[in-house]
Amino acid sequence: MSDLICELVKEDDPFLREVPDVFDFDSPQVDPEKLEKQLLENMFHHRGYGLSANQLGIPVTAFAMMNGYDPVVVFNPEITEFSEETTFMKEGCLSYPGLYVAIERAYGVSTRFQFSDGQEQAGNFIELSARIFQHESEHMDGEIFIDNVSGYRLKAAMRKRKMILKRIKKQQEKG
C-alpha cells in the first residue's frame, strides 16, 4: 500500500464543514503534483467516483473525480452555469459510508478550474460527471450532500444505512 493512502475525515468531524483555502499556485500550501497523486490514489483505494482534499484533512480547494473512464484532478473549481434540466438519483459520499440518498442536481454544468500545473481550463460536464463535479464542489463550500435532504428522506436513508453497515461488518468478519 502506498504511503499516500490515508484515512478519510469522519462524517462528524467539523473539519468537513470548514471552507478550504483557495489553492495558491504562486505560494502553494502543499506540492500540487503530490496532492494530485494523493487524491487519485485515495479515490481509487477508497473506491470513489470523487474525493476532495478536505476529506483527506487537507484544507485546499482541490478534488479528484472520474470523468467517464478518465480520472481528473481539479484545483480551484468554479461552476459558472447550471443546466435547467435536472436529474434525480441516489448519491453517496466516502465520508459517509453506506449512506445513499436520492439528490436532485443539474444535468449539466459549465465550469472553470486549474490543473496541478496551474493551467486554467474551462469545461462542460453532463450526467454522472456533472453530478460528481457538483458534489465535490459542495465540499469546497463546506457543504455536505445531505444538507438539503428532507428529514423524512434522510431518516429512511439512515435506517437503510444501518443494515448496509451491519452487512459490511459481517462480510469483514468472515474475512
Residue-range domains of the chain with CATH: 14-174 (3.90.45.10)
Across the chain, mean pLDDT equals: 95
Q: Parallel, antiparallel, or unpaired for β 86-93 and 96-106?
A: antiparallel
Burial label, 11 (beta-carbon count in 10 A; 0-12, 13-18, 19+): middle
Judge if pTM exceeds 0.85.
Answer: yes
The gap between the terminal CA atoms of the chain, to the nearest Å, is: 19
Q: 51 in helix, strand or coil?
A: strand
Q: Which one is catalytic: 33, 91, 136, 143?
A: 136
The residue whose grid cell reads 444535468 is: 107
Q: Model confidence over 57-83: pLDDT tens digits?
A: 999 999 999 999 999 999 999 999 999
Q: Model confidence over 98-132: pLDDT tens digits?
A: 999 999 999 999 999 999 999 999 999 999 999 99
Compute the distance between CA of residue 89 and CA of residue 21 in angstroms, rounded to an integer: 30
Q: 120 in helix, strand or coil?
A: strand
Assess whether 136 carries a catalytic annotation: yes
Mean pLDDT of 29-58: 97
Per-residue pLDDT, 4: 86
